[in-house]
Amino acid sequence: MKYQKIPEATIRRLSRYSRCLEEMEENGEKVVSSAQLANKCIVNAAQVRKDLAYFGEFGIRGVGYYVRDLLNNIKKILGLNKEWRMALIGVGNLGSSLLSYFQLMTTQDYLKQNYKVVASFDIDPPKVIGRVSEKLGKPVEVFHINKIKEVVKERRIEIGLITTPPSEAQSVADLLVEAEVKGILNFAPAQIIVPEGFEVKDVFFTTILDNLAYLLSN
Amino acid sequence: MKYQKIPEATIRRLSRYSRCLEEMEENGEKVVSSAQLANKCIVNAAQVRKDLAYFGEFGIRGVGYYVRDLLNNIKKILGLNKEWRMALIGVGNLGSSLLSYFQLMTTQDYLKQNYKVVASFDIDPPKVIGRVSEKLGKPVEVFHINKIKEVVKERRIEIGLITTPPSEAQSVADLLVEAEVKGILNFAPAQIIVPEGFEVKDVFFTTILDNLAYLLSN
DNA sequence: GGATGTGAAGTCGTTCACAGCT
DNA sequence: AGCTGTGAACGACTTCACATCC
């Protein structure tokens, strides 16, 4: 295999393959062919092979792929063989909802455990501390936003989750960049700009709803 | 303009344009060129023009687009000129979080108002009714899942939100299809299959996190 | 003059089809 | 014989470049 630029769609599918493989592993399946995996993930078999071929030769001709091996390889590729420490900024309604969701992740076993929110921030921390604490498990501390730089360093936080109103998203992103997180997951429906070298991914479910609304309006 | 298949990416961008145009309208801007809009949305100017050209000729050569007109046109295209009535199935942690988020939508003005959750369902309704009711505004009723067909009809529900554990996602989808909703927004990280004519969109933020993790692992 | 609308070119991703291993 | 790995064909989306119109 030669080096090539890897399509983003490939990475998204890898994530899907890993979910399917986890399920297969639980069912005690040892070997899987590209056709079977493709079938389960609703993609083309050649697509599966090509996606994997970007990263190496994981299969055995005439046989298929060993489920456990392939799963481990994909997890390594995706960077899921470590714990990602995250901070959440904006503990309003959406923020506190997500906080409790991520807390649940660490207790519920059908959810991945690779991501952990280890601190949260707001302009007005006291107003929300009660609500966040009430949930099961150790509550996530809410700091004042001006503590962000030191806490990110202290707690070795690599990812920031922006859950503020859209008007604040860019300035929060600037703070996160300054605090030297490596990536941002942006839930605020606003385009944010970060310097070269930082990564931002958007989660706008209103956009997806709009998409659905469009499809249903025909 | 001739008829052509419209790329899904075009629809997603339309949603983005509409957000930008809303902002511009609030700022009192009357006219916008494709270059300005493109700049604001971080896309190519030709892309903006091509996206719009799929649906008609909305601009004036030598001038640009009237902000208000274009916004109205885009909203009409996306089907945002009506209220979408939704049901949420699975009032666990994620579900109740989303419920309160959508409830907030109807009170907070920086969030769109086109989507409204008018009923929710669970296998064990009583366990959660308190938690959902506590939030501001009129609480969303929680019904037993076996009431789904009649409630969907009564309340004219068109979209179902699946927020159950992944293991239940497919059977819930089957129920929604039987109850004759038109589309599904699936938050449960599992591939679901629906008959021809139904639309499903997935919102897996673990997938997006995995994507981010991959980018940060290089 | 200036910005749109659009065919044509270019780029990127997917699918095919088969050579190459086991 | 069977399934992977991969060059080549295909298709889809994006960008360019310019004719068109205000």
pLDDT band, very low/low/confident/very high, at B128 (cuts 50, 70, 90): low
Q: Does residue B129 have a pLDDT over 90? A: no
Distance of CA B131 to the CA centre of its chain: 24
pLDDT at A110: 59
pLDDT at A209: 95
Domain chopping of chain A, boundaries: 8-77, 84-207
pLDDT at B133: 46
- Nearest CB among B104, B158, B213 relative to A93 is that of B104
Q: Do A190 and B12 touch (CB under 8 A)?
A: no
Measuring from the CA of residue B62 to each C1', which nucleotide is nearest? C3
pLDDT at A185: 97
CA–CA distance, B184 with B161 (Å, rounded to integer): 6
Residue nearest the C1' of C13 (CA based): A7
User: Which structure tokens are listed for A138?
Assistant: 């150790």
Q: What is the rounded average pLDDT of the residues B194-206?
A: 93
pLDDT at A1: 59
Q: Locate the chain B residue with the closest alpha carbon to A188.
A: B111
Q: Does residue B92 have a pLDDT over 70? A: yes
Q: Are strands B199-202 and B65-66 parallel, antiparallel or unpaired?
A: unpaired
pLDDT band, very low/low/confident/very high, at B111 (cuts 50, 70, 90): low
The answer to whether some atom of strand D lies closer than 7 Å to the beta carbon of A10 is no
On whether any CB of chain B is under 8 Å from the CB of A21, the answer is no
Q: Locate the chain B residue with the closest alpha carbon to A115.
A: B209
Ramachandran region, residue A7 (left: φ > 0; alpha: ψ -120 to 50; beta: rest): beta
Fold of A84-207: Rossmann fold (3.40.50)
Q: Does residue B42 have a pLDDT over 50? A: yes
Q: What is the CB neighbour count within 10 angstroms for residue B137?
A: 10
Separation in Å, CA B77 to CA A76, A126, B176 = 42, 44, 26
Q: Which residues contact B98 (CB under 8 A, 6 or more apart)?
A: A97, B88, B161, B163, B187
Among the residue ranges A12-21, A128-137, B62-71, B146-155, the one predicted with the least confidence is A128-137
Q: Does residue B212 have a pLDDT over 90? A: yes
Q: What is the rounded average pLDDT of the residues B156-169?
A: 96
User: Which structure tokens are listed for A186?
Assistant: 């942006």
pLDDT band, very low/low/confident/very high, at B113 (cuts 50, 70, 90): confident
Nearest to B20 by CA among A190, A185, A172, A202: A190
Q: Does residue B173 have a pLDDT over 90? A: yes
Q: Which residues of B touch A14 (CB under 8 A)?
A: 210, 214
- Do the beta carbons of residue B54 and residue B24 sit within 8 Å? no
∠ CA A161-A199-A72, nearest 5°, is: 85
User: What's chain A look like in SS3?
Assistant: CCCCCCCHHHHHHHHHHHHHHHHHHHCCCCEECHHHHHHHHCCCHHHHHHHHHCCCCCCECCCEEEHHHHHHHHHHHHCCCCCEEEEEECCCHHHHHHHHHHHHHHHCCCCCCCEEEEEEEECCCHHHHHHHHCCCCCCCCEEEHHHHHHHHHHCCCCEEEECCCHHHHHHHHHHHHHCCCCEEEECCCCCCCCCCCCEEEECCHHHHHHHHHHHHCC
CA–CA distance, A181 with A55 (Å, rounded to integer): 27
Fold of B8-77: Arc Repressor Mutant, subunit A (1.10.10)
Q: What is the rounded average pLDDT of the residues B131-139?
A: 58
User: Which structure tokens are listed for A50?
Assistant: 């090509």
pLDDT band, very low/low/confident/very high, at B94 (cuts 50, 70, 90): confident
The alpha carbon of residue A27 is apart from the nearest alpha carbon of chain B, in Å, by 14
Could you tell me the mean pLDDT of each successive run of 10 residues in chain A, 218 residues long?
A: 84 97 95 97 97 97 97 97 96 86 72 85 72 61 96 98 95 98 95 93 93 95
On whether any CB of chain A is under 8 Å from the CB of B3, the answer is no
Measuring from the CA of residue B32 to each C1', which nucleotide is nearest? C3
pLDDT band, very low/low/confident/very high, at B93 (cuts 50, 70, 90): confident
| The model's pTM | 0.92
If DSSP codes are grouped into helix, strand and coil, which group holds residue B189?
A: coil
CA–CA distance, B59 with A44 (Å, rounded to integer): 41
